[in-house]
């Protein structure tokens, strides 16, 4: 069976233990979490979890139902088939020997991201964008020698009010 990527936006009570309930549900039932991001919302009593999960189409319904069953989960919004804007933030530490610096900067320029830290041997570049942009960026940087990548999980917002 084929695995698809799903993007879920989950509104939860802002309470201790909620994230552990969700993580526990995934590990206990053998679902996998690709990426996860949690932050507060305009309502201090609620948090927003954006989750990317990869699974078979038959499993995603079960995941959504199981999430909904948790008492602290307020809504589960599956954005996958909807129109949404998605972003992920990465910081990429890349080798920048004197002879490669210009090339790195050129790529940075093309992708409209920025260098946030400079060392004798490296640059750290901050980039945000959707999956595609980040992938393209990394594939171009790779020949320069990537030292480390630190990324947030995806966050996403639906285009229409849903």
Partner 1 sequence: MKLTGAEILIKMIKEQGVRTVFGYPGGATIDIYDELAGHDDLRHVLVRHEQGAVHAADAYARAGSCVGVALVTSGPGATNTVTGIASAYMDSIPVVIFTGQVPTALIGNDAFQEVDIVGITRPCTKHNYLVKDVKDLARTVKEAFFLANSGRPGPVLVDLPKDVVQSVTEFVEPGKISLKTYKPTYKPNKKQVAKVVDLIAKAEKPLIFAGGGVVLSEASEELTKFSRLTNTPVTASLMGLGSFPGNDPLWLGMPGMHGTYRANMSIGECDLMIAVGVRFDDRVTGKVETFAPNADIVQIDIDPTSIHKNIPVSCPIVGDCKETLTMLNKMVAKADKELVCPERIGWLSTINDWKSTTPLRYEQTEDVIKPQYVIERLNELTDGETIITTEVGQNQMWTAQFFHFDKPNHFITSGGLGVMGFGLPAAIGAKAARPDKTVIDIAGDGSIQMNIQELMTAVESDFPVKIVILNNGCLGMVRQWQELFYDKNYSSTLLENSPDFIKIAEAYGAKGLKCTRPDQVDQTLKEGLSFPGTVIMEFKVEEAECVYPMVPAGRAITEMILV
Positions in the binding site for partner 1 (CB under 8 A): 13, 17, 20-21, 24-25, 28, 58, 61-62, 65-66, 68-69, 71-74
- Residue 74 or residue 105: which is nearer to partner 1 going by CB? 74
Specify the residue, 18 or 134, whose C-beta has the smaller distance to partner 1.
18
Taking the least distance from each CB to partner 1, the nearer of 17 and 119 is 17
Residue 74: CB minimum distance to partner 1, A: 5
Residues 6+ apart with CB under 8 A from 144: 94, 95, 96, 100, 103, 104
Supply the minimum distance, in Å, between the C-beta of residue 34 and partner 1.
Answer: 22
Beta strands in the chain (DSSP E): 4-13, 35-40, 46-55, 73-78, 84-95, 114-118, 122-129, 146-151, 155-158
């Amino acid at each position: 069976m084929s695995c698809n990527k799903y993007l879920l936006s989950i509104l939860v009570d802002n309470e201790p233990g909620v994230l552990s309930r969700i993580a526990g549900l995934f590990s206990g039932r053998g679902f996998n979490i690709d990426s996860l991001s949690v932050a507060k919302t305009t309502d201090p009593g609620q948090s927003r979890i954006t989750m990317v999960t990869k699974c078979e189409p038959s499993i995603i319904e079960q995941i959504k139902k199981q999430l909904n069953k948790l008492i602290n989960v307020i809504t589960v919004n599956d954005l996958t088939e909807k129109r949404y804007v998605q972003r992920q933030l990465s910081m990429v530490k890349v080798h920048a020997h004197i002879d490669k610096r210009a090339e790195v900067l050129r790529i940075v320029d093309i992708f409209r991201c920025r260098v946030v830290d400079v060392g004798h041997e490296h640059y750290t570049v901050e980039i945000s964008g959707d999956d595609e942009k980040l992938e393209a960026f990394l594939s171009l940087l790779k020949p320069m020698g990537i030292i480390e990548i630190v990324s947030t999980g995806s966050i996403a917002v639906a285009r229409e009010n849903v």
